[in-house]
Structure 1
Amino acid sequence: MSEYSAEPVPSPLRRLVTLAGWVNRHQQEVIEYLVEENRVLREQLKGRRVRLTDDQRRFSRMMADAQDVD
């Protein structure tokens, strides 16, 4: 007889773990797509600066400020 007897994982917990795994895979696919998209765009720019409108600059600053954690 084995010392270890695994009890079945409760159904709600199993669903939560499955959902978390799916979300993680989906996020990883999105990240990989965006990394490749950035690589292609950098290649097309060939070292030139990206020209932003005032609205794009404001949005970029707002997003950067939201990332600051003190």
Structure 2
Amino acid sequence: MDKQNIRIKLRAYDHKVLDQSTIEIVNTAKRTGAQVRGPIPLPTRKEIFTVLRSPHIDKKSREQFETRTHKRMI
């Protein structure tokens, strides 16, 4: 039988939840006797949104929000 590879990519906004999930997946895979490489951290995607603070006046007054998407591959 040929060697089979499985790649699992995980994404989350909270890196703590992501790390817990990868640990559980790696432990489960090791219990079945699979050879595991990883978790491999992939680049974090950062999206920045700029919005006006006031709906009427003060165009120069702005506020920025960001979302970070953390990724791991097993």
Greater RCO, CA 8 A, separation 6+: 2
> Where is the helix percentage greater, Structure 1 or Structure 2?
1
Larger Rg computed on CA atoms: 1
